[in-house]
Amino acid sequence: MVRKLKFHEQKLLKQVDFLNWEVTDHNLHELRVLRRYRPQRREDYTRYDQLSRAVRELARRLRDLPQRDPFRVRSSAALLDKLYGLGLVPTRGSLELCDFVTASSFCHRRLPTVPLKLRMAQHLQAAVAFVEQGHVRVGPDVVTDPAFLVTRSMEDFVTWVDSSKIKRHVLEYNEERDDFNSDA
């Protein structure tokens, strides 16, 4: 026997439709990406998702233009150059590559994934901690924001900060530390 629902419970149940409950696989994909790349703010993922949808929509609209249209040729080349420079597409081949730009493509270009790829950290959580603590620099600038997107041209300039104790420890382990330098 089930008890009679109170007034506020009946009112809440009117707002929920249990028969036509929507189950989306998008939510599962979002959770998988959030678990893999560990962004600190969920808004970062939603922003990346909106950007990737905008890129796919722009590519679709460019594909709908006539093949020989000079605007299409110019715009598609500019879009592919920009996406290639950001590292979101592997080549500047064709607009079909834009269909594979997703939020996880943006997450893959975040700063903590680059030290992971360069084997400066063993796992992503440690790489995020190194970035937040100021041990990693991009070029001459120390970056403490894990949401910083690293382009292809900046990938080669991701290194340890000169005064980092981690860098000192790595140099001592590899027996490459110079005793003359007091900071390294």
pLDDT, tens digit, for every residue of 116-150? 999 988 999 999 999 999 999 999 999 999 999 99
pLDDT, tens digit, for every residue of 23-53? 555 677 888 888 888 888 888 888 999 999 9
Cβ of 134: how many Cβ atoms within 10 Å? 13
pTM for the model stands at: 0.74
Q: Residues 64-90: what's their mean pLDDT?
A: 94
What the chain holds in terms of domains, given with CATH numbers, is 25-107 (no CATH), 110-173 (3.10.290)
Rounded distance between C-alpha atoms, residue 29 and residue 104, angstroms? 10
Three-state secondary structure call for residue 140? coil
